[in-house]
Structure 1
Amino acid sequence: MALAIFDLDETLIGGDCASLWSEQMGRLGWVDPESFMRKNDELMAAYSAGKLAMEDYMTFSLEPIAGRTPEEVEHLVEPWVEDFIEPIIYSDACTAIAKHRADGDRILVISASATFLVQAIAARIGIDEVLGIDPQVINGHYSGATVGVLTYREGKITRLMEWLDAEGENLEGASFYSDSRNDLPLLKKVDYPHVVNPDAALREQAEQAGWPVHNWK
C-alpha cells in the first residue's frame, strides 16, 4: 500500500477555500466584507507569487473566529461546504482518488488552510485523513493563533514526516498532487509527483523534470 497525497485548493477544488471562507465570514457579519476581502486578496496574491509569510495570513484570517468555540464554527462550516464547495469539487480529482483507492493506496490531504476547513471539505470527498494548519484552542475557544508547524512549503514535509512516524508509514511509492509552486519541496520528495492545473512557475518546473501535468475540471 502506497500513500497518495493531495493538496486541496486549486487541486481538489476549483478555488481557494480560505478565501471562500473569508467571503462567508462577511455574509455571517463577522467581518466587514469589502475591507476584509481587499486585505485577503492582497495576501493571496503574495501567496500565488510564492512571497507570502503564512503566519501573516493566518493571523489575519483567524482573527474573526477568536473567542468562538470549535463547535460553533464547525456547525457553520458544514452547510457552507455543501453550498459553496461541493459545486467546485473537480470530478477529475474524484476519479483520481477512486483509482488510488482501487489500487489499495492510503489517501491523505495536506493543505495550507485551517484544519477545520480542510477536514470538512475532505470529508465531503470521502477522505478522512488530513493535515492542515491547526488553530489554537484555549479553554474551549479559538484564540486566533495557531499551534505547531504550519503546513506550508517545507512545513508540509515536516508535518508529513511527523505523521508518517506516528502512523508507521513511509514515502515509498508515494504520489503527491498539487497546483502550486509553494509545494515544490514536497513534489521533489515523493516518488511520483503530479502537477494539477499548475501556475506558470510550476508548469515550467514540471516540464523540465518530466512530471505528469493534469488539467482537471
Structure 2
Amino acid sequence: MPTAGAAVAHTAAAAFFDLDKTIIAGSSALAFSRPFRRQGLISRRAALRSVYAQLMVVFAGADEDTMDLLRQRITVLCTGWDVAQIRSIVAETLHEIVEPLVYAEATALIAEHRALGDEIVVLSASGLEVVEPIAALVGADRCLATRMGVDHGRYTGEIEYYCYGEEKAAAARAIAAERGFRLEDCHAYSDSITDLPLLEAVGHPTAVNPDRALRRAALQRGWPVLTFDNPVALRSRFRSRVPRVAVATGVAAVVLGLGWVGLRRRGGPAGLPSPTGA
C-alpha cells in the first residue's frame, strides 16, 4: 500500500481494484434488482430469490463449477432484454443506488494512489457498462469488465469477454506492458480468492474484506489485509469531476453486472436457486 512519505521514492505504476466489497459495499446485483423489478424485467419472486442467493453466497467458498452455473443462469435470464431499456434504468438510478455503497476507505486509497501518479484501473467480472460509470464515480482512469453480446439492440446471451480469474491477471499484464509499468511496482486490491492470479501478478497485493480462502492465502503469503466498513455517498465529493454523460454512456452488458457482481466470487452450492435479477 502507498504510505504518506512514499511520494519521493515512488515509481508511478498501476493500482488495480476489484469492484464488489473492495470499492463498494455489498452487491450491485442485489442493489439493482429493485429498479429492474419496477420496470417489469424481473418478478417479485425472482427478486426474493436473488436476496436468498446473496445471503447464501456470503457464507460459501469460491467454487468454479458453481460460478459457471450461475453465469449460465444469468445469461439465459437476460437473453432478449432491450439494451436501451437497461441503459435507461441504470443511468437513472446509478447515483441513487451506487453512491451510498462506495467505501470511504476505497476513495481515500484511490486518491492516495492518484496523488502518487498511479493509474487507477478497475477490473471486474461484472458487465462493462455498469462498471464504467461506477469507475468514473470513484475517479478511476480506466476499467476492464465482462462484455456481453448484443444483436439488433438486444442481449444475445453470449459472452464476448469474461473478465474473471486468470483473465484479470492477463489484463493487468497487458495494461502494464502498454503503459510501460513494471508489474513489481503495481498494486492490486481484492476481496476474493478468485482474484488470486491478479494479486500474485503484482508486486504489492492487498486483500480487502477478504473471503475465508483469500484471508488464508494472504496470511500465508504475508500480504496486507484491510477492512473497509464505511460506505458513504459520493455526490458531493465527485460531482464536479464526473459529467453525467459519463454515467449515461454504455450499459450494453449491464445485466452481467446485475447478476455477477455479488455472485461471481463466492458461488453457492450447486442447488442454489437462480439469482435472477441479482
1:88-103 to 2 correspondences below 5 Å: 88-103=101-116
Name the counterpart of 1:75.
88
Name the counterpart of 2:120.
107
Name the counterpart of 1:132.
145
Measure the CA separation in 2 of the matches of 1:147 and 1:6: 22
Name the counterpart of 1:196.
208
Kept in 2, the 8 Å contact 1:136–1:147? The answer is yes
- Per-residue deviation, residues 16-39 of structure 1 (Å, max 9, x unmatched): 223323343223210123235526
Kept in 1, the 8 Å contact 2:119–2:141? The answer is no
Kept in 2, the 8 Å contact 1:175–1:192? The answer is yes
- Per-residue deviation, residues 25-72 of structure 1 (Å, max 9, x unmatched): 223210123235526754872995211444433333344543345443
- Per-residue deviation, residues 171-209 of structure 1 (Å, max 9, x unmatched): 241100011111111111110001111112211221221
Aligned identity (percent) is: 35
1:21-100 to 2 correspondences below 5 Å: 21-35=32-46, 37-38=48-49, 41-42=52-53, 45=57, 48-53=60-65, 54-100=67-113
- RMSD over aligned CA atoms reads 2.5
Matched to 2:18, the amino acid is D
Matched to 1:180, the amino acid is S
Name the counterpart of 1:116.
129
Report 1 or 2 for greater relative contact order, CA contacts < 8 Å, sequence distance ≥ 6. Answer: 2
Kept in 1, the 8 Å contact 2:185–2:204? The answer is yes
Measure the CA separation in 2 of the matches of 1:215 and 1:39: 26
Q: State the structure with more CA Rg.
A: 2
State the number of aligned residues: 216
Kept in 2, the 8 Å contact 1:111–1:131? The answer is yes
Instruction: Note closer, same or farther for the CA distance 1:109–1:18 as it changes in structure 2 (3 Å cut).
Output: same
Matched to 1:111, the amino acid is S
1:9-20 to 2 correspondences below 5 Å: 9-20=20-31
What is the CA-CA distance between 1:165 and the residue it aligns to? 4.9
What is the CA-CA distance between 1:166 and the residue it aligns to? 5.2
Deviates more, 1:139-148 or 1:158-167: 158-167
What is the CA-CA distance between 1:156 and the residue it aligns to? 1.4
Kept in 2, the 8 Å contact 1:2–1:105? The answer is yes
Unaligned stretches of 5+ in structure 1?
none
